[in-house]
Amino acid sequence: MARMFKFGGSSLKDASAVRNVASILHRFGDENLVIVVSAMGKTTNALEEVVAAHARQDGSAKQLMDQIRQFHYSLAQELLPEGHEVFVALNDTFVEAYWVLDEPPHANYDYMYDQIICVGELASSRIVQAFLQHDGLPTLWLDAREVIITDDIHREGWVNWEETGKRMEAKVRPMLSQPGFVLTQGFIASTMDNATTTLGREGSDYTTAIFTFCLNGESMTIWKDVPGVLTGDPRLFANVTKLDRLSYREAIEMTYYGAKVIHPKTIKPLQNKSIPLFVKSFIDPEGEGTLISSDIEDLYPPIVTLEQQQTLLSISTRDFSFVAEHHLSLLFQKIADLRLQVNIMQNSAISFSICVNHAPDKVDDFISGIEKDFKVQREDELELITVRHAQPDLLDNLRKGKIIFLEEHIRDTVQFVAKTVPMMSRIEN
């Protein structure tokens, strides 16, 4: 049985990081591994700039792309000898991206985005595969777009599980029976018509879970720059500790509300087949990390997550009538059509409030779609704080320096939508 490993951008940010990944993989040299890699370092952010520049047609897109290409070439030059075939593969990868930039911007921004952004994962996987091979670890390269099939909603494709499952068996299963590792890209997929799609930002964890589910992996491991899953984001909260074990349920709740350590869609496929998920440190690979498994609930310490870029919408009828069921059904239909993520909702007699992720176009489209029938009050730049297993003194500390717009308590989970008064960035808990 195979194990699946995911290495994200920060574990591949430069040549020495790639060497470190190889040294971790040498410990597993005789195993069947499927290795999923993200784009290197902050490449996806840089590529988003290219997409935006191409849409603006201000002439800067190619220059920005040149820098990205140069970064990958230099990195490959540090790792591999001159004339290595990886340079041909890199060239082919970038040529396709330049073709897109030679065309006028596509009318569908999200489609265009996917055709350009995929270069990050493709280039990364070429370099890492070549280096592993060079370093004595036989590794086959796989184009994830040949096996992960989604619908045609670009930037947020939904997986066609049946088709994906079939292709995994037909294409990847035979690769696994050959000696060595299989290495592929996270985040990218394809429609039935071979157009590149993506699974949403930070989607490489999810890719790895898709492989693990379809191939009945023995376990999945995400290699991170933190020792495991922590009780809060160490960049934002003081006094965080590592959780040694988590149930799937606890993990899904905390990642849904902004724990950035794992992509929220990752847990479900693993839970459905009771496949354990490990979160381990690529800096301290011997460390035991966090094990996410089972449905047995432990006693947990308070766990705090923060989701930024929240928008609060308070919706009321124009004629002062109650917000009734038929209104709600209309509003939810719009929400579903736009795939708007609603994080909290609350209603009163004549108003219905939702806190949503600030997806720029979607929020605007939602408002303009309902404006005829409803009045909408909007507040941007808010944060959503979720505390599971809350304790009163911790909540008091978290509320300090904040204006609270909405607060909700359900059993021992407390959520509030707030704005930080400037000058307070790190919260003592």
Site residues, ligand ASP (CB under 6 A): 8-9, 38-39, 44, 120, 186-187, 201-204
- Which of residues 44 and 343 has its CB atom nearest to ligand ASP in the complex? 44
Could you tell me how many residues make up the chain?
429
Distance separating alpha carbons of residues 280 and 223, to the nearest angstrom:
5
Which residue number, 114 or 250, has a Cβ lying nearer to ligand ASP? 114
Q: Which of 129, 157, 162, 156 is nearest to 143 (CA)?
A: 129
Q: Which of 176, 203, 44, 19 is nearest to 113 (CA)?
A: 44
Please, what is the end-to-end C-alpha distance for the chain in angstroms? 43
Residue 203 contact among Mg ion, ligand ASP, none, beta carbon within 5 to 8 Å by kind: ligand ASP
Q: Identify the residue among 6, 9, 253, 383 touching Mg ion (CB under 5 A).
A: 9
Alpha-carbon distances, residue 414 vs 305, 344, 400, 428 (angstroms): 11, 11, 15, 17
Nearest distance, CB of residue 335 and ligand ASP, angstroms: 24
For 175-208, give the secondary structure using H, E and C: HHCCCCEEEEECCEEECCCCCEEECCCCCHHHHH
Tell me the closest approach of the beta carbon of residue 208 to Mg ion, in angstroms. Answer: 12
Q: Minimal distance in Å, beta carbon 115 to ligand ASP?
A: 15
Shortest Cβ distance from residue 40 to ligand ASP (Å)? 9
Q: Which stretch binds Mg ion (CB under 5 A): 35-43, 98-106, 130-138, 351-359?
A: 35-43
CB of 48 to ligand ASP, least distance (A): 9
Q: Which is nearer to ligand ASP, 123 or 335 (CB)?
A: 123
Residues ≥6 apart with Cβ < 8 Å to 214: 161, 164, 165, 168, 169, 172
How far, CA to CA in Å, does 28 sit from each of 3, 22, 125, 285?
Answer: 10, 10, 19, 12
DSSP-derived 3-state class of residue 261? coil
**Pick 44 or 196: Cβ nearer ligand ASP:** 44
What, of Mg ion, ligand ASP, none, does residue 302 touch, CB below 5 to 8 Å by kind? none
Q: What is the DSSP-derived secondary structure letter of residue 242?
A: B
| Contact partner, 187, from ligand ASP, Mg ion, none, Cβ < 5-8 Å per class | ligand ASP
Name the residue with the smallest CB distance to Mg ion. 9
Interface residue with Mg ion, options 11, 20, 38, 429 (CB under 5 A):
38
Q: Report the C-alpha gap between 271 and 161 in whole angstroms.
A: 16
Collapsing DSSP states into helix, strand and coil, what is residue 332? helix
186 binds, among Mg ion, ligand ASP, none (CB under 5 to 8 A by kind): ligand ASP
Indicate the residue type of 91. N
Nearest residue (CB) to ligand ASP, 38 versus 316: 38
Residue with tokens 């809060």: 232
CB of 203 to ligand ASP, least distance (A): 5
Query: How many other C-beta atoms lie within 10 A of the C-beta of residue 180?
Result: 18
Q: Is residue 212 within the footprint of Mg ion (CB under 5 A)?
A: no
CB contact set of 399 (below 8 Å; sequence gap of 6+): 416, 418
Measured CA to CA in angstroms, residue 249 lies from 8, 123, 293, 295, 413 at distances of 24, 35, 9, 7, 14
41 near Mg ion, judged by CB under 5 A? no
Q: Which residue is nearest to ligand ASP (CB)?
A: 204
- Residue 120 binds Mg ion (CB under 5 A): no
CB-based contact 271:231 (threshold 8 Å): no
Selection from Mg ion, ligand ASP, none that 228 binds (CB < 5 to 8 A by kind) is: none
**Contacted entry of Mg ion, ligand ASP, none for residue 201, CB cut-off 5 to 8 Å set by kind:** ligand ASP
Q: Which is nearer to ligand ASP, 115 or 204 (CB)?
A: 204
Judged by beta carbon distances under 5 to 8 A according to partner kind, the member of Mg ion, ligand ASP, none in contact with residue 120 is ligand ASP
| Nearest distance in Å: CB 262, ligand ASP | 11
The reply on whether position 115 binds Mg ion by CB under 5 A is no
Q: Which stretch binds Mg ion (CB under 5 A): 38-46, 149-157, 249-257, 307-315?
A: 38-46
From the list 1-9, 26-34, 104-112, 218-226, the region that binds Mg ion by CB under 5 A is 1-9
If phi > 0 it is left, if psi is from -120 to 50 it is alpha, else beta; for residue 11 that is alpha
The listed partner (ligand ASP, Mg ion, none) that binds 383, CB under 5 to 8 Å by sort, is: none
Residues of this chain that bind Mg ion (CB under 5 A):
8-9, 38
